[in-house]
Chain A
């Protein structure tokens, strides 16, 4: 691939020449005296001078762009212009990252205005370029307030172009990039909100800008973009039509001119996932699941092709279930995606998103450990073992209950929870209120959204703190007087009876029963514990369900494996019967001397074995 690309760029030599011409001029521009001589204008105008200076600076900056980067940008632009998806993908997924590592690991890419001559000032490409430019600033550098405002404006320009042109635009972009656009948009919104919520760290200038920059990154504007993309693409209608098995013609009819184009359809779908995320960040867990009501969570949907999106979807859905106290649903969600990630790992180590995916996976193992401690189940031993391996210490504390539990829950929750945000800005436009905020004592962690959600979660956990102890006692009996149990626990009998009601309560949960419900919010009450009990006046009766040994999975797995080995054997070419080749193969395995091939098959074999013996 790399070779092919080189060839393409070489073919662009003409344009490069052009560029070099201005580049040469640029270097002359560094000489100030020479420039002064040039400026033989009788009336010296300051603004012209500034414009001139800027022009010179731009030329200088342009001159500093390495030639390979220039060719890369030109090539990238052509790929975008011709909607050449394979070429765009290569440029986007490997080229950009390659040159980032090489030239821009610690600095910004050249600004869009500077590279504009390379791409004939193509406004659409420049918007896309800026999208990448700012994403790089956010991920590698520290965005300043201008970056934050400008990246927002650029996103608006992009979405405006997509949504408000005359009819659907013909632009095509790889699915991965489309997801990244939506994902990054929400990420920057989240980063902006949390940055905005800390007035004490702002300079006076920043405070002034924030005071009159209200609509920038407002929740309404973000939601507006996402809903517009969903509505324009009619992606919900598309999903429904697909589920009803409609023909491609019918679907095309239903989704209209926008929804027929992959760009809009994918952006629409990614916007649903984006909404899920935004609502979680804002603490609206029911609405988050409600916007997903048409989406079927499974591995077969064509939308799962973008792994990063697929993983994010499950992470946020699983987290919602935790906050709805639907731990079995959360466990099921995490198990599904963690198994998926494990299976896909071999294909993803090369992807530039691998780091992000494995970080999210780690957080999901932590959330899984939390759910597993609150609602023990035997859904997937494999995942449970990995979770216990990674978070063994916390897991032990969490599942034992008692005093050590809450700190362990807190630690994992803070590690694994989404980065919650406040929907609204502190009152920067009200100088008095700002002063008040700035002079306020103490830190604000007590009131920040993350701690609000943490405290709610910990209150739920505290309700359950005695559950493990009670369970371990009940397991020893088939019937037990409540007074006796109270004595064991050194507690009042009435108190124990109330705790038994809590125990019963946490052994039940609303859970999604597949096939019967519509939407992720729906569910039925199920029993989540194999320990059941009932109180007859003051006598506890206990019954435990046991799960018979499971053989099927083992047999199915091994049957399939044997079948695969058998097929492989059958499909592999028969060994060639030439006398010399056979010992060669055997020798290679035994790493024997190189004399062997020259001898006959029988001697060769002897040498091989003999050699092995000598070594041992």
Chain B
């Protein structure tokens, strides 16, 4: 969890904001927002820093910037199955209709869509995710937001890979392709990059062993720790 709590890419200034009292200072919102856009351009991710933006919005509704919120949620989607998306939603207080925005607020329209995408990822319904994501309805989200988020589709694929490699030792190429929304040479290249082996003759992909896809029936024996025995031993020593 260390990398999630303190990503190595986080700068000292941001660390100061995330961990200090300065996180409440509304005039720092710009620094954090710039950092978010930096994450979007450079395929970095810092959940706690983004939550700090939402916290400032929570306390200072006048700072609210819907585009920033949408981008934070898009970034949080790619963290599945960690609860980041929910943590962000938790901070989105119900806000009165905001008259100060120049344009209509895009968030109320996008929120159900993002919720839906999150739900699909959380339920490992990856083919359905791609279908919805590529649908005409989501054109607005794709053209205005995810297109700006460098490597968005690949980071969704990483969500898929996290789920697949814990569950499978071998998986059919068609199945994996449908999860990754890749096929043919693209799929082969992707699998190769992962270091997984592709058996072309049977069209099956082998997932290398990892702690989660190795199963073993074990009997867990109890282990007695010394502190449990302190009283007994000290009595014996006295006697």
Query: A287 and B51 in contact (CB under 8 A), knowing A219-B59, A427-B96?
Result: yes
Query: A504 and B91 in contact (CB under 8 A), knowing A227-B21, A547-B219?
Result: no
Residues of A within 8 A of B48 (CB): 286, 290
Give the most central of B24, B90, B96: most A CB within 10 Å. B90
The answer for the CA separation of A510 and B217 in the assembled complex, in Å, is 22
Q: Is the CB of A504 within 8 A of B5?
A: no
Q: Which single residue of chain A is at the shortest CB-CB distance from B221?
A: A548
Q: Which single residue of chain B is at the shortest CB-CB distance from A523?
A: B1
Q: Which single residue of chain B is at the shortest CB-CB distance from A279?
A: B55
Contacting B170 at CB < 8 Å: which of A422, A437, A497, A536? A536
Residues of A within 8 A of B21 (CB): 227, 231
Residues of B within 8 A of A424 (CB): 58-59, 61, 93, 95
Number of A-B pairs, beta carbon distance below 8 Å:
169
Tell me whether B94 is interfacial, beta carbon within 8 Å. yes
Contacting A433 at CB < 8 Å: which of B86, B91, B96, B232? B96
Give the most central of B96, B228, B231: most A CB within 10 Å. B96
Tell me whether B13 is interfacial, beta carbon within 8 Å. no
Q: Is the CB of B231 within 8 A of A560?
A: yes
Q: Which single residue of chain A is at the shortest CB-CB distance from B166?
A: A504
Q: Which single residue of chain B is at the shortest CB-CB distance from A559?
A: B232
Q: Is the CB of B169 within 8 A of A535?
A: yes
Tell me whether B43 is interfacial, beta carbon within 8 Å. no
Contacting A220 at CB < 8 Å: which of B59, B166, B215? B59
Q: Is the CB of A556 within 8 A of B229?
A: yes
Tell me whether A308 is interfacial, beta carbon within 8 Å. no
Q: Is the CB of A543 within 8 A of B90?
A: no
Q: Is the CB of B51 within 8 A of A286?
A: yes
B157 → chain A, closest Cβ, in Å?
15
Contact with B along A428-445 (1 / 0, CB 8 A): 000001001100000000
Q: Is the CB of A537 within 8 A of B163?
A: no
B102 → chain A, closest Cβ, in Å?
19
Tell me whether B167 is interfacial, beta carbon within 8 Å. yes
Q: Is the CB of A501 within 8 A of B164?
A: yes
The answer for the CA separation of A447 and B221 in the assembled complex, in Å, is 49
Residues of B within 8 A of A447 (CB): 94
Q: Is the CB of A502 within 8 A of B87?
A: no
Q: Which single residue of chain A is at the shortest CB-CB distance from B126?
A: A498
Number of A residues whose C-beta is below 8 Å from B? 73
Q: Is the CB of B217 within 8 A of A544?
A: yes
Tell me whether A397 is interfacial, beta carbon within 8 Å. no
Q: Which of A531-570 contact B (CB under 8 A)?
A: 532-538, 541-548, 550-553, 556, 559-560, 563
Tell me whether B204 is interfacial, beta carbon within 8 Å. yes
Residues of A within 8 A of B221 (CB): 548
Q: Is the CB of A548 within 8 A of B1?
A: no
Residues of A within 8 A of B216 (CB): 532, 543
Q: Which of B189-223 contact A (CB under 8 A)?
A: 204, 212-222
Tell me whether A311 is interfacial, beta carbon within 8 Å. no
**Other 17 A-B pairs with CB < 8 A, given A460-B83, A500-B167, A548-B219:** A290-B19, A325-B83, A423-B58, A424-B58, A424-B61, A452-B92, A459-B119, A460-B122, A499-B124, A501-B167, A504-B167, A504-B212, A505-B81, A508-B212, A546-B218, A546-B219, A548-B221
A496 → chain B, closest Cβ, in Å?
11
A493 → chain B, closest Cβ, in Å?
10
Q: Is the CB of B94 within 8 A of A453?
A: no
Residues of B within 8 A of A505 (CB): 81, 124, 163, 166
Tell me whether A323 is interfacial, beta carbon within 8 Å. yes
Contacting B175 at CB < 8 Å: which of A219, A286, A325, A497? A497
Tell me whether A283 is interfacial, beta carbon within 8 Å. yes
Q: Which of A516-535 contact B (CB under 8 A)?
A: 517, 519, 521-524, 530, 532-535
Residues of A within 8 A of B144 (CB): none
Contacting B215 at CB < 8 Å: which of A227, A427, A543, A560? A543
Tell me whether A223 is interfacial, beta carbon within 8 Å. yes
Q: Which single residue of chain A is at the shortest CB-CB distance from B54?
A: A284
| Chain B interface bracket (under 10, 10 to 19, 20 to 34, 35 or more) | 35 or more
Residue pairs across A and B with Cβ atoms less than 8 A apart, 28 shown, are: A219-B59, A220-B24, A227-B21, A282-B58, A286-B47, A323-B83, A422-B93, A424-B59, A427-B96, A448-B94, A449-B94, A456-B89, A456-B90, A463-B122, A502-B123, A504-B166, A510-B1, A522-B1, A530-B220, A533-B215, A534-B169, A535-B169, A541-B215, A546-B217, A546-B218, A546-B220, A552-B224, A563-B231
Report A's interface with B, CB cutoff 8 A.
Answer: 219-220, 223, 227, 231, 282-287, 290, 323-325, 422-424, 426-427, 433, 436-437, 447-449, 452-453, 456, 459-460, 463, 494, 497-502, 504-505, 508, 510, 517, 519, 521-524, 530, 532-538, 541-548, 550-553, 556, 559-560, 563
The answer for the CA separation of A505 and B162 in the assembled complex, in Å, is 9
Contacting A537 at CB < 8 Å: which of B47, B95, B171, B212? B171
Contacting B125 at CB < 8 Å: which of A287, A323, A498, A547? A498
Q: Is the CB of B96 within 8 A of A463?
A: no
Residues of A within 8 A of B90 (CB): 283-285, 323, 452-453, 456
The answer for the CA separation of A283 and B55 in the assembled complex, in Å, is 10
Residues of B within 8 A of A283 (CB): 90-91, 93
Q: Is the CB of B87 within 8 A of A548?
A: no
The answer for the CA separation of A427 and B228 in the assembled complex, in Å, is 58
Contacting A223 at CB < 8 Å: which of B24, B89, B123, B228? B24
Residues of B within 8 A of A541 (CB): 215
Tell me whether B106 is interfacial, beta carbon within 8 Å. no
A422 → chain B, closest Cβ, in Å?
5
Q: Is the CB of B222 within 8 A of A552?
A: yes
Tell me whether B235 is interfacial, beta carbon within 8 Å. yes
Contact with A along B93-135 (1 / 0, CB 8 A): 1111100000000000000000000010011111100000000
Closest 6 CB pairs of A and B: A501-B124, A283-B90, A543-B217, A543-B215, A447-B94, A532-B215
Give the most central of B55, B82, B94, B232: most A CB within 10 Å. B94
The answer for the CA separation of A449 and B93 in the assembled complex, in Å, is 7
